[in-house]
Amino acid sequence: MSSKKTSPVAPHKASHAGADNRPSRSEAESAVRILLGWTGDDVTREGLQDTPARVVRAYEEYFSGYNKDPVKILSTTFSEVEGYDEMVVLTNIQFVSHCEHHMAPIIGKAHVAYLPNKRVVGISKLARLVEIFAKRLQIQEKMTAQIADTLQDVLQPQGVAVMIEASHGCMTMRGVHKHEANLVTSRMLGAFRNDPSTRREFLSIIERKK
Ligand SMILES: [Zn+2]
């Protein structure tokens, strides 16, 4: 086991306003009430009375990633791996995120791989890492980079690969209404970037697991 305190390059700290100027729960509920009224509905009718409180509770869940530290999640590693030095790949990690431009859902899956350098992390930690970045306001490209860079910086493996495929509510539910459109993003670091055969192996594993 080892614990690292190095701060990765990617911004992991919540970039929202600090505790001092963060709106209160009741201010957030009032804001939802205003949006509800703006739709043209009657905010005083029975069905909508508890909606602002429910929406704020739901937002707490959607955006719970701001309160969690991805570096800490990865800080417990195992070094007794009997010299295991092959690729570790976790495929089809499902997530729900929200786009920072429309606050519309981004629904998709992430495939995460690394080539260990003496140390490995518990596999559930890879899924937790995806979850922490998903539960923030995002754009898919940024989320892909944050996951890859954090893994690289904290674990310092020989390489990292992250691929994300997702559909974006802002495209499927509105705007151009392309229901089937999937955005695919990837970030390859170290061996995955430099060695074509490592990259091919990763791509063929996730292709088989789909
Ligand atoms: Zn959007």
Annotated binding residues for Zn(2+), as ranges?
99, 102, 170
Give me the mean pLDDT over the 199-208 stretch.
95
Residue 83: its pLDDT value, please?
Answer: 79
In the annotation, is 12 catalytic?
A: no
Please name each of the domains of the chain with its CATH number: 20-62 (1.10.286.10), 68-209 (3.30.1130.10)
Give me the mean pLDDT over the 180-209 stretch.
95
pLDDT bracket for residue 132 (50, 70, 90): very high
Write phi, then psi, for 13 (nearest 5 degrees).
-70, 145
Residues, Cβ < 5 Å to ion ligand 1: 99, 101-102, 170
Give me the mean pLDDT over the 60-77 stretch.
94
Distance from residue 41's CA to the centre of ligand 1 (Å): 24
Give me the mean pLDDT over the 129-135 stretch.
98
Give, for 193, the enclosing helix (H) or strand (E). Answer: helix 191-194
Q: Which residues contact 45 (CB under 8 A, 6 or more apart)?
A: none
In the annotation, is 141 catalytic?
A: no
In the annotation, is 99 catalytic?
A: yes
Residue 19: its pLDDT value, please?
Answer: 63
Which candidate, 95, 204, 77, places its Cα nearest to that of 144? Answer: 95
Give me the mean pLDDT over the 27-35 stretch.
98
User: Which residue among 27, 60, 100, 207 is the active-site one?
Assistant: 100
In the annotation, is 16 catalytic?
A: no
